[in-house]
Amino acid sequence: MHGSTLREPRVAVVGGGVSGLVAARELARAGAAVTVIERDEHLGGRVRGAALCGAPFDVGAEAFATRAGAVEELVSDLGLTTHIVHPARLGSWVVTAEGARPLPPGGAVGIPVRPLAAEARAHLGLRGAVRAAVEPLLRRDRAGSAASDAPETLGALVRRRLGERVLDSLVRPIALGVYSTDPDRLELSAVPGLAAAYARTGSLVRAARQLRDASAHAGGAVAALAGGMTALTGALVADVRDRGVEIRTGTRVVELTRGVSEHPAAPGRRSEPQWMLRDSVGKTILRCDAVLLAVPESVAATLLAERTPPPREHDIEVVALAVADTRLDAAPRGTGALVADGAGIAAKALTHVTAKWPDRAATVPAGTHVLRLSYGRAGVAPETAGLSDTETLGLACRDASLILGVPIDSAAVRDWVRQPWIVGAPPGPTPRLLPPPGVDVAGDWVSGTGLASVVPGARAAAARLLTHLSPMNESSVSSA
């Protein structure tokens, strides 16, 4: 086939997480010959399952945001619509040094929609609540219009518009829980929809109301799949295999080089595949016409040999406990709680999984509760790093006791798992890597944290590659 201008373009997708699998699907649908190359034996990346008391449990992503409908559309395409489940409407809590309180309902990253309502006043005090309540009356300004050219952070904008109290009591614990990043390091653009809603309304309180209304319209802010999010990656893998995509697991790509590019007699026409991928012993894995790097930022930067600022990645750890204790039947902290600085608790958040997802409660023995704690944030190693399993279990039981207000003894723990992860910071307004023509990038460091951002991001990256490939070999790229 080499040398023919009529062969289908061969595309390598490096990384078999959701981004890579979604991109592979789009490329295969458009008629490309696709190979997915994944470092691990496991496909799905940060969507990963484990067994807890014999029941499936998500140790990575456990749900998806319903905004914009991108994940539902994929779920429906894959025939999984009947698997969609919704969380119990129990609300979540914040634990501070002063105690545990329910979060005011409906806010975006903790920005209250009704600052003077009793639930918000309980966090803000009267002064803090009044300061926030007048925000819609303040002069409209543009995010980032302040002193420097640097993009404005969520923390700076909240402090300026709503005051320190809203930032410390509500926004900081939620930003740390959701993005593992302090709001003073989190660019506004990383919070989906917030910058646009703020630009439209000129007020953070009004922007939070708009985002609340949009998620109510979508039937709730998050949903999941019965049996766990691995149902999505399992279906994606089956789908791409059906479309003829080749999948190579256990293969780490360490080098990407450009080879022969154009047919000598017909500039612009491909003769030999342009890109060469090698593994750690220098063996050629694949030659191809285009490459999609659906890997973490640090890996993409190495493969592109780009001298960029060091990637903004950090470690976190998830620790999940299956606890037999009927005192938890009452779901004392609703679906879970976020932890504010200074509360004397190492974990940054706890999800009461079996209270949040009734379908999961049905999979574990009666009276057993699954609690999922997360540790670590940007700039701070997880408190569990370097701890033995016994020490980690002890710390998780102590933290869960403090968060839930119910003493949990390790003797009541029927099963548990720990799973370390490396996560990247959400993207800023300007891309940090500029891949050459024929190479593109996808992932949450490109399009934003979470499946609702990476699914459309991966589709967009695949579409850009197809646009690049089509003039080179128009006759060979059919549409599905």
Q: In this structure, are residues 335 and 44 in contact, taking their beta carbons and an 8 Å threshold?
A: no
- The site map against ligand FAD for 202-241 (x = CB under 6 A) is ----------------------------------------
Residues in the chain: 480
Among 13, 24, 32, 37, binds ligand FAD (CB under 6 A): 37
Q: Which stretch binds ligand FAD (CB under 6 A): 33-41, 119-127, 237-245, 379-387?
A: 33-41
Cβ proximity to ligand FAD: between 198 and 421 the closer is: 421
Q: In this structure, are residues 10 and 479 in contact, taking their beta carbons and an 8 Å threshold?
A: no
Number of Cβ within a 10 Å radius of residue 366: 9
Integer Cα distance of 326 and 357 in angstroms: 17
192 touches ligand FAD (CB under 6 A)? no
Cβ proximity to ligand FAD: between 39 and 172 the closer is: 39
Q: Which stretch binds ligand FAD (CB under 6 A): 88-96, 294-302, 359-367, 468-476?
A: 294-302
Pick left, alpha or beta for residue 18 (phi over 0 → left; psi -120 to 50 → alpha; otherwise beta). alpha
Among 31, 45, 106, 273, binds ligand FAD (CB under 6 A): 45
392 touches ligand FAD (CB under 6 A)? no
Q: What residues form DSSP beta bridges with 52?
A: 55
Among 450, 455, 462, 476, binds ligand FAD (CB under 6 A): 450
Q: In this structure, are residues 109 and 193 in contact, taking their beta carbons and an 8 Å threshold?
A: no
26 touches ligand FAD (CB under 6 A)? no
Q: In this structure, are residues 318 and 333 in contact, taking their beta carbons and an 8 Å threshold?
A: no
Residue 158 CB, nearest distance to ligand FAD (Å)?
Answer: 23
Number of Cβ within a 10 Å radius of residue 308: 13
Backbone phi, psi, residue 22, to 5°: -65, -45
Residue type, 58: D
Q: In this structure, are residues 94 and 175 in contact, taking their beta carbons and an 8 Å threshold?
A: no
Q: Which stretch binds ligand FAD (CB under 6 A): 27-35, 44-52, 110-118, 123-131?
A: 44-52
Integer Cα distance of 442 and 35 in angstroms: 16
Tokens representing 237 are 């893998």
252 touches ligand FAD (CB under 6 A)? yes
Q: Which stretch binds ligand FAD (CB under 6 A): 25-33, 95-103, 141-149, 444-452?
A: 444-452
Residue 182 CB, nearest distance to ligand FAD (Å)?
Answer: 18
162 touches ligand FAD (CB under 6 A)? no
Among 26, 62, 135, 168, binds ligand FAD (CB under 6 A): 62
* Mode of pairing for the β-strands spanning 413-424 and 313-324: antiparallel
177 touches ligand FAD (CB under 6 A)? no
DSSP SS3 for 334: coil
**Site size toward ligand FAD, by CB under 6 A:** 35
Residues near ligand FAD, by CB under 6 A = 14-20, 37-40, 45-47, 60-64, 252-253, 294-296, 299, 318, 421, 423, 443-444, 449-452, 454
